[in-house]
Amino acid sequence: MAHDEALLHAMPRLGRPVLRFYSWTERAASFGYFQKFSGVERATLLRPLVRRPTGGGIVPHDADWTYCLAFPAGHEWHSLPATGSYHRVHEWIQSAFAKLNIPTDLAPCCKKLETKNQEPGTGLPGQCFLGYEKSDVLWHGRKIAGAAQRRNKLGLLIQGSVQPPPISLARADWEKAMQRVGEEKFSILWHMLAPDEQLQESIKRLVSERYSQVAYNQKR
């Protein structure tokens, strides 16, 4: 979370979009910046719990594929309305799955959470992957990709999670497909970004002052 937020803070200096893929070293859950911690801890049995810098609901991080996109202020994506950037990033993911011969759909509308006969700890509201919102990525009617956003004067941060379908599929192949779609659809020329000292210091500061602090994660 600190790394993603540090990228947003660095957008005025970097001046170009960044795509970051990452994974989790242990089972955990992240939750939206505006969610109440008391509701989150009742809604999921996953621990630890970490507050995201973006909005949205509870996202389980067990075997998911996580990514973030950061865009500087003034970039085309930053100028889009929230619904536009949400739809566009999921079109990107849908196209990547298509390159792997996995057909998916974008949800035409929302489907509310079903709470009847849910297992304990799974039927409370605020969980991102129970039900779906318009433009979420669906596989056989089940949500497999969602995202949350934060847009301010520094730029746009999108944090997303892909819960891969239960088929034989390597994460590395999906990441390569995402890069190919970026090249073809958005004319991206990819370059590796090695975090410089300033970015590394920003990450350390955010870890120390926010994301490692119980008070921050439980502040609402």
The predicted structure's pLDDT at residue 120:
39
The predicted structure's pLDDT at residue 219:
86
Q: What is the pTM of this model?
A: 0.91
Of 7, 45, 14, whose CA–CA distance to 29 is shortest? Answer: 45
DSSP tag of 142: E
The predicted structure's pLDDT at residue 117:
41
Name the average pLDDT for the chain.
92
Alpha-carbon distance values, 97 to 20, 69, 209 (Å): 18, 18, 38
Q: Picking from 90-99, 101-110, 122-131, 207-216, which range would have the lowest pLDDT averaged per residue?
A: 122-131
Task: With a cut of 70, say whether residue 126 has pLDDT above it.
Answer: no
Task: With a cut of 90, say whether residue 203 has pLDDT above it.
Answer: yes
**What's the mean pLDDT in 127-148?**
89
Helix (H) and strand (E) counts in the chain: 7, 9
As a whole number of angstroms, the distance between CA 193 and CA 201 comes to: 16
Task: With a cut of 80, say whether residue 197 has pLDDT above it.
Answer: yes
Task: With a cut of 80, say whether residue 18 has pLDDT above it.
Answer: yes
- 78 forms bridges with which residues in the sheet? none
The predicted structure's pLDDT at residue 122:
44
Task: With a cut of 70, say whether residue 59 has pLDDT above it.
Answer: yes
For residue 60, what is the domain's CATH number? 3.30.930.10
Q: Which of the four pLDDT bands, split at 50, 70 and 90, describes residue 163?
A: very high
Q: How many domains does the chain have?
A: 1
Task: With a cut of 70, say whether residue 183 has pLDDT above it.
Answer: yes
Q: Which domain holds residue 135?
A: 2-217
Task: With a cut of 60, say whether residue 138 has pLDDT above it.
Answer: yes
- Per the model's pLDDT, the better-predicted residue between 76 and 166 turns out to be 76
The predicted structure's pLDDT at residue 121:
42
The phi, psi pair for 210, rounded to 5°, reads: -125, -70
